[in-house]
Amino acid sequence: MAALNYKHLRYFWMVARCGSIARACEQLHLTPQAISGQLRELEEALEVELFRRAGRGLELTDGGRRILSYAEEIFALGDELLDVARDQTATKTLRFAVGIADSVPKSVAYRLVEPVLHLPEAVRLVCREGRLTALLGDLAVHRLDMVIADRPMPTNLNVRGHSHPLGDSDLTVFGTATLLQSLRGAFPALLDGAPFLMPGDDVAIRVRLEQWFETRRLHPRIVGEFDDSALLKSFGQAGAGLFVAPTAIAGYVTEQYRVQAVGRIDSIAEQLFAITTERRLTHPAIVAIIKVARAEVFGGSTRAPLAGGAGDPQQTPMTTTQRSRGRSRSPKTTS
């Protein structure tokens, strides 16, 4: 195979960033014909279609998005090389690439990964988000150092990996005040017939949640299914339906999304894992993440919430009558 033409790759990178050849021409001071011709040469060399037409502009194909992620890393490393060449006192930055599965709550992912930025070493953090199988493919070819997922390494994939438990938390059901006023009864009976936002098929707790409903003969009205936890919560914030989130972040969910805790499902635990290619962990960023997860985020007592206040789900939600009359809460009830 012929050597990669980095000039062609930079032109592709600029077109992808600008969204059109015309805008890329302004940045590169080249004609559209010149850029179009060199993009075709790059596609022929890589044997990959990089763009497709989208109205008056261009959009990346799946192959193009994958090539773009490589190009971004190549040119970021090139910029770092130039910085070091200009400043001989500069230290090498430690690159840490982490994949975060769509199903992992973003607020939890942030709390796990954020301490990496405070390591003694200078770290360049690269976060990738997507479906677990795609992220594990990148892990296998060492484009990622670690993947955070809501399930251990699947046994049916031909990828060498090791699963390191980060912690687990049971679930709390949330909803807006307006939605709760329309529901009758106490938890969990009020779920029967209530609009509900269900985690998607790619989310590990989906099956266990369905079994929990079936065991208790509850039939919520499923109004939406979401692989992405942040999108699910946004719909929940808009009052589209009730939804579940880890009890460990109940305080954050109630404050950030302006919802109330409805009840707690302590028989279902959402688990998180760090998946790596190495059994023995030596990368300082991975060590820091696992330490923070076990000591702070899940804190050893993973079935207790980390934040209380108005959204503390240890308190049993009020019935419709209690909400309307402002009575005190009833004793704690979990299921």
Q: What is the CATH number of the domain that holds 198?
A: 3.40.190.10
**The predicted structure's pLDDT at residue 174:** 96
In a domain, 330, yes or no: no
In a domain, 332, yes or no: no
The answer to whether residues 183 and 246 belong to one domain is yes
With DSSP H G I counted as helix, E B as strand and the rest as coil, what are the percentages for the chain, rounded to 5? 45, 25, 35
In a domain, 69, yes or no: yes
**The predicted structure's pLDDT at residue 91:** 60
* pTM of this prediction exceeds 0.85: no
**The predicted structure's pLDDT at residue 90:** 55
In a domain, 1, yes or no: no
Contact (CB, 8 A) for 175 and 232 = no
The answer to whether residues 321 and 262 belong to one domain is yes
Higher confidence at residue 64 or residue 77?
64
pLDDT tens-place string over residues 148-167: 999 888 877 777 788 999 88
Q: What mean pLDDT comes out for the span 269-284?
A: 86
**The predicted structure's pLDDT at residue 281:** 80
**The predicted structure's pLDDT at residue 303:** 43
Instruction: Answer yes or no: is pLDDT of 83 > 70.
Output: no
Domain that holds residue 188: 168-270+302-325
The answer to whether residues 239 and 175 belong to one domain is yes
Please, which residues have CB within 8 angstroms of residue 210's CB and are 6 or more apart in sequence?
Answer: none
Please, which residues have CB within 8 angstroms of residue 328's CB and are 6 or more apart in sequence?
Answer: 322
At which of 27, 49, 84 does a domain end? 84
Please, which residues have CB within 8 angstroms of residue 287's CB and are 6 or more apart in sequence?
Answer: 281
The answer to whether residues 67 and 205 belong to one domain is no
Say which CATH number the domain at 43 has: 1.10.10.10
The CA angle 243-249-252, to the nearest 5 degrees, is 90
